[in-house]
Homo-oligomer: A and B are copies of this chain.
């Protein structure tokens, strides 16, 4: 598999969707894909300092699985935390873009974000450009 590429848009700020995004990103990286993730709208909140700790579940009380119970189970079953997943994604060469339009709309400054995770700040045009030769593109 040569030159395969996956680009993800993360619009949702839900804990479980952010988790899916990072798990998929790491999965594609492990298979030799290059991976770019564009964080926009609620998704950008996850990249704030302590953002991973504040992300809500998309089905908060559903099936009795609250955020803390899920985190506890993740630990028990050796599922990596959001932070571990994000750090691993970066180690494997994944690229993270923060949406500048969202930053303006929500009043988020560069210093509010995890600069150890964000590679670039850009508009949707940057995402579209990254996706022009993508083999897999997902909206999360």
Contacts and interface: CB of A to CB of B under 8 A. Distances in A.
The interface size bin for chain A is 35 or more
Interface stretch (A90-98, A100-108, A110-118): A100-108
A11 B4 contact: no
A23 B124 contact: yes
Nearest to A43: B20
A73 interface: yes
Given A62-B42, A136-B134, A27 B105 contact: no
Interface in A27-48: 27-28, 30-31, 33, 40-42, 45
Given A11-B17, A19-B41, A132-B135, 6 more contacts: A9-B24, A26-B124, A63-B106, A79-B104, A131-B136, A139-B139
